[in-house]
A and B are shown apart, each in its own frame.
Chain A
Amino acid sequence: MKNILEVKNLTKKYRDGDIQVTALDNISFKLQEGHDLAILGPSGSGKTTLLQLAGGLDSMTEGDVIINGQSIKKLSDQEISDFRNKTMGFIFQMINLQSFLTAKENILVPMLILGTPKEEAEEKAKELLEQMNMINRANHLPSQLSGGEQQRIAVARALANNPKIIFADEPTGKLDKKNSELIIDILESLSREKGMSVVMITHDENIAKRFSRIIRLENGIAKKDSNLDNK
């Protein structure tokens, strides 16, 4: 089985005024294709930084991230953008739908960036809307949708280009209990039923436990990897 994600000695340091901050300190782990992973830690633990680096949203100080066999470190900004668009899907705590686009249009965006022909993109968007039970709200603006509905659209958007790996940053952070459950169910099913690799960041132990593997982060250091425990 192939490793969809390989994090090797990942370190992120930055300067905050006079102080040098180490957000991540020599993190390493691997994730197999089709598996899910929860990264658990309190705020300031570096989990967000890890997601940023893994998703190529930010640059690493040391180490490397290899996704689907491709080392991110060596890619140019444009290449990373393209790679991200094609290979990854992101779900954010802030949901981050574009406020001026309808639900359907938000889902279309990644496909348009990829260059997917319009009809094909429309088809796919419809399909995803149906999967999320949101087909009736296709033409609504995010402001007309509830938090849970918005996040479902965000999930649909993340799936638009059939990504190899989904990164979810505290996806239930802004949702109520019911919707949280719903979203976690969806994420869970993505790896279970669709064979997608899902990496989820959370500070909530209960949510983390829904995933089959947990890596605990504290102060930028991986304290515990349940995988290793299990072995």
Chain B
Amino acid sequence: MKISNILNLNIKKLKVNPKKALFLIIPVTVLITLSIIISSQVQNIKEALSSSVFDTISNQYTLLTVQTEEESFDPTTMFKGESSFEQSKFSSVDIANIESIEGVKSASLQKVIPIQNISTSDLFPEKTVSLKNLSTLDEETASLYTTEDFTYTKDNPIPIILSANSFTYTYEDWSQGNTVIINMANPQAEVPSQNGQRGRATIEKTEAIEYTKDNLVGRTFAISFGGLDSIKSYTTSMDRVTRTITITKLTDEEYNAKIEERKSAITKYWDYDKISTPITYTFVIVGIDESESSTTNYIPESFANVLMNRYISNEINARVVDEIPTNVLNSDFMGITYNGDELSPSGFGGVISQIGGRFEERMGQSGVIPEEGRNVSASDISFSAITIPGLVIDINSDDNSVVGTLDNPNIYSTATKYANGINVVLSSITYRSQVIKALNKAGYAYQDLGDLDVFENLENTLETVSNAFLISFIVLVASIVILTMGKLVSESTREIGIFRAIGMRKKDILTMFISQSILYVFIGYLSGLILGIGLNFLSSTFVSSWFDSFINETVSQTFNVVNTVEENIFTNINWTSILIYSILLFIISLIVSIIPSMSASKISPVEAIKNE
């Protein structure tokens, strides 16, 4: 019998008795629908991740920032005046070390801006935020943090990436009166704070400021660089017997007297107004780094030179004498030190021997305060030393003696920069744990906070879901076809018997049942296609909002600028997958349907004769 006639027979069978066919058609429809939705949305989520999140975040995760450890103040290093290299800051040697680790694409120093007073009152109303760690970021590394241009163009706000940990402000809490006594034995219990609850055992309190990332990104604001340190508005004294510390607020007169005292010291050599007025620049926030460990704020490398040049020029231009005498440098007046190689920010690294001399006089070589029985700490040093913003002091690298002022505004661009961090860029995410291990082994502490897990987990889950579904699909198609066709054949014995009795060949019976399976599968396939594409479209809203919340939850811990993913991405269909599933469907159906169809062909024409 011609195939077209056989097919016609199947179609007529279907028309008259569609119910039986549904047992095969409906499961196929469901499977195809699911395959479309699952494979499309898996692909869409992957693409959304890579185009929005991974472009920045995964780049973020290919970026490790190794920071120096918190330094404990070792007085001996102060005396030795070691360079930053010996003080376990980072240098080009570390770069070379790290770049030799397998999986590391590049390493660059996070160069600190050696300016002491950096602050802004512009960001949060009535709160001054101090931006202590300001470092530079080269454009390449910056591109991993933000899609905005990270360069300096004159007369435009300068891009800056702020660390959320900077959003704190410090204030003096005089709510308990102008004299505060702290009992050393139980400082916590004795010091109430503003709202009556227990507070820190000190006058100076620091509070974190609430912020909304979206409100900040894109904002322009002014940052002040330089100016004079604020003068402490209180004195501290200690009573060993009663084991108490007494903090006394200065009166206005006492306070003003201190300011005047400083002013007159400064005006000997500098124009007071010029020195005391900070330089300001306008910045635009292009990113907020919300990682827990980082406190670094970043500005473009190209701007750093401009800033430092102006900072230093400001001091040079403020001088009212031709030369500042060397004996007051690094003693009465502090600034950035330059030892012929590098600039050190605080003036502590480098030369302190001048101060050291005085120190030794007072404390003895051991650095121990005999009465107290403890080591010297920074607060013991009550110098009348004044920090002059922009002052660069030239130091002899051999004996750390002061040579004089360094009057080159461009010194920053040529000096070896002091780096408190290294940006390590990985060749790919897959190297991440390997490199972290190697770093730690080499002595660069890096704590993997593992935010990556979330994304790795998501990717793995997506893979697993895809694979699991694929396998289920194959198994289910095979099972469904065999079971339904098997049942169909067993219910068709009479029909087959009749055809055979009339002279239909075994071959034709075989063809008839195989084509019947394919016909039903095809119908299920078409319905599945339509339903799948339709439902995929509908599901896009759900997947989209899930994705948004997923990103918000996980991204909040990471630093990046996430591009809004196009809504449309989740309506996309994974045609390649559909093709694969289609091919699988028909091949499996074809092969599997042979088994029941073979049984059908073997049914004897005698069946037609049998009486019910």
> A87-129: which have CB < 8 Å to B?
88, 90, 92-94, 96-101, 105, 109-110, 112-115
Name the residue of chain A whose CB is nearest to the CB of B498: A96
Count of interface residues, chain B, beta-carbon cutoff 8 Å? 31
Q: Is B503 among interface residues, defined by CB-CB distance under 8 A?
A: yes
**Contact among A83, A84, A115 for B501, CB-based, below 8 A:** A84
**Contact among B5, B604, B611 for A112, CB-based, below 8 A:** B5
B17: chain A residues within 8 A (beta carbon): 99-100
Complex Cα spacing A100 to B13, Å: 5
Complex Cα spacing A101 to B505, Å: 19
Complex Cα spacing A100 to B498, Å: 13
The answer to whether B609 and A169 have CB atoms under 8 Å apart is yes
Known: A58-B604, A96-B494. A84 touches B611 (CB 8 A): no
A77: chain B residues within 8 A (beta carbon): 505-506
Q: Is A78 among interface residues, defined by CB-CB distance under 8 A?
A: yes
A48: chain B residues within 8 A (beta carbon): 609
The answer to whether B611 and A81 have CB atoms under 8 Å apart is no
The answer to whether A100 and B12 have CB atoms under 8 Å apart is yes
A86: chain B residues within 8 A (beta carbon): 503
| Interface of chain B: mostly helix, strand, loop or mixed | helix
Q: Is A151 among interface residues, defined by CB-CB distance under 8 A?
A: no
**Contact among B15, B500, B505, B605 for A100, CB-based, below 8 A:** B15
Complex Cα spacing A97 to B502, Å: 11
Known: A93-B611, A94-B612. A81 touches B604 (CB 8 A): no
**Contact among B5, B16, B506, B609 for A99, CB-based, below 8 A:** B16
Name the residue of chain B whose CB is nearest to the CB of A84: B503
Count of interface residues, chain A, beta-carbon cutoff 8 Å? 36
Complex Cα spacing A3 to B552, Å: 93
Complex Cα spacing A90 to B607, Å: 13
Q: Is B1 among interface residues, defined by CB-CB distance under 8 A?
A: yes
A97: chain B residues within 8 A (beta carbon): 498
Complex Cα spacing A90 to B499, Å: 11
Complex Cα spacing A83 to B504, Å: 10
From residue B430, how far is it (CB to closest CB) to chain A in Å?
Answer: 60
A84: chain B residues within 8 A (beta carbon): 501-503
Complex Cα spacing A6 to B505, Å: 25
The answer to whether B495 and A98 have CB atoms under 8 Å apart is yes
The answer to whether B608 and A96 have CB atoms under 8 Å apart is yes
> B477-525: which have CB < 8 Å to A?
494-495, 497-508
B500: chain A residues within 8 A (beta carbon): 57, 81
Query: Could you mark each residue 17-56 of chain A with 1 if its beta carbon is under 8 Å from any beta carbon of chain B, else 0?
Result: 0000000000000000000000000000000100110010
The answer to whether B1 and A112 have CB atoms under 8 Å apart is yes
Q: Is A197 among interface residues, defined by CB-CB distance under 8 A?
A: no
**Contact among A57, A93, A173 for B604, CB-based, below 8 A:** A57
A81: chain B residues within 8 A (beta carbon): 500, 503-506
The answer to whether A109 and B604 have CB atoms under 8 Å apart is no
Name the residue of chain A whose CB is nearest to the CB of B6: A112
> B594-612: which have CB < 8 Å to A?
604-606, 608-612
Q: Is A82 among interface residues, defined by CB-CB distance under 8 A?
A: yes
Name the residue of chain B whose CB is nearest to the CB of A97: B498
A191: chain B residues within 8 A (beta carbon): none
**Contact among A92, A94, A112, A173 for B2, CB-based, below 8 A:** A112
Name the residue of chain A whose CB is nearest to the CB of B610: A94
> What would be 21 A-B contacts, judged by CB atoms less than 8 Å apart?
A48-B609, A55-B501, A57-B500, A57-B606, A57-B608, A57-B609, A58-B604, A81-B503, A81-B504, A82-B503, A90-B501, A94-B610, A96-B608, A99-B17, A100-B13, A100-B17, A110-B502, A112-B1, A112-B2, A113-B504, A169-B609
Task: Given contact pairs A81-B506, A110-B502, enumerate 13 new A-B contacts (beta carbons under 8 Å).
Answer: A51-B609, A52-B609, A57-B500, A57-B501, A58-B606, A85-B503, A90-B608, A94-B611, A94-B612, A96-B494, A96-B498, A98-B499, A100-B16
The 10 closest A-B pairs by CB, nearest first: A85-B503, A100-B16, A57-B605, A84-B503, A96-B498, A100-B13, A112-B5, A81-B505, A81-B503, A110-B502
